Amino acid sequence: QIPAQRSALRKVAAVLRAMASQVTPGGVTRVCSGDTGFQPIVQINDVKEIPGSSTNADKKRYRMIISDGQHLQQAMIASQLGALVESQQVVTGCLARLTEFVVNTVAKQQKKIVIVLKMEVVHGPIPRVGAPAMIGAAPVERPMAPGVQPLRPHRPAPPVSAQQQQQHVQPYQSTWVQPPQQAQPFQQQQQQPQPQYGQQPHAQH
C-alpha cells in the first residue's frame, strides 16, 4: 500500500510541475514594461473585492495580485469580468491567461496597476509557483548582529625597508656602534744611540 501511495504522490507532483511550467517566465515584467502584444499565463495569488465599489453585482470591482513565479504585480479586473469571481472560477492559486489588458499609473502613488479587460482560466488552484516578490521592491538589508564589524577591503601592507628586515631577522643584535678611535698625538721619543759593535753602551747619568 505504501508504494502505491508514493506512486500516486509522484504523479500528483508531476502534474503540479507541469501546471506550474505553463506560467509565462518574466510575464509580469513584460506586462509592467508596457508590452501588450502577448498573452501571458499568470497565477492569481490573491483576489478580493474592492470595498465600496458598488452594491450591484454586475458592477462590483475586484483587485488581484498576479504572479509569474518571480514577480508580483497588483491588477484590477474590469467590471464585466466580475462574474468570473462570483462563479468561483477566478480564485486564489488558479492559472489565468490575460488576453487583453492595459497598464495605468496611479499619479498620487506613482505605482503601476494592470487593468485586465479579458481573461480566461486555464487551470484551477495549485500551490504557489516559485517565491515571487513585489516587482520594483528594494532588496531588504538585514541588520548586523551586535558587535559584528563590517567587512573592510583588504589593503596590502607597506613595503618593509632593508633596515627593518635586518632588525626583524636579528632582533637581539646590539645596535651599539663603536665610535672611531681618536688618533693619538705623536710623541717624539728620545732615540738613544745604538751601540756599535764591540763598544759598551754609555751609562746614563
Span 137-174, pLDDT tens digits: 544 444 444 544 444 434 445 555 555 555 554 544 44
Does residue 173 lie within any of the structural domains?
A: no
The alpha helices in 33-177, defined as continuous H runs, are: 82-86, 162-169
What sign results for the dihedral spanned by CA atoms 11, 13, 14, 16?
positive
Task: Determine the Cα–Cα distance for residues 155 and 168; give it in Å rounded to an integer.
Answer: 22
Q: What is the pLDDT of residue 76?
A: 95
**13 part of a folded domain:** yes
Q: 85 in a domain, yes or no?
A: yes
In a domain? residue 174: no
Q: Indicate which CATH number applies to the domain containing 10.
A: 2.40.50.140
108-141 pLDDT tens trace:
777 899 999 999 999 999 999 999 999 875 444 4
Give yes or no for residue 178 having a pLDDT over 50: yes
> Residue 48 pLDDT > 50, yes or no?
yes
Question: What is the distance between the alpha carbons of residues 104 and 36, in angstroms, rounded to a whole number?
Answer: 12
Report the C-alpha gap between 139 and 111 in whole angstroms: 18
* 95 contacts: CB under 8 Å, gap ≥ 6: 19, 22, 23, 41, 42, 43, 44, 121, 122, 123, 126
- Section 74-92 average pLDDT: 93
Residue 158 resides in a domain? no
For the segment 42-54, the average pLDDT, to the nearest whole number, is 87
Is residue 44 assigned to a domain?
Answer: yes
Residue 27 located in a structural domain: yes
Q: What residues pair up with 112 in beta bridges, in sequence order? A: 105
Q: Is the pLDDT of residue 5 over 90?
A: no
Greatest distance between any 2 Cα atoms in the chain: 160
Total residues found in the chain within this entry: 205
Evaluate if residue 26 carries a pLDDT over 90.
yes
pLDDT at 120: 96
Task: Give pLDDT, residue 174.
Answer: 46
The count of structural domains within the chain is 1
The domain of 129 spans 2-134
Query: How far, in Å, CA of 43 to CA of 125, rounded?
Result: 9
- Direct distance between the N- and C-terminal alpha carbons of the chain, in angstroms, rounded to an integer: 142
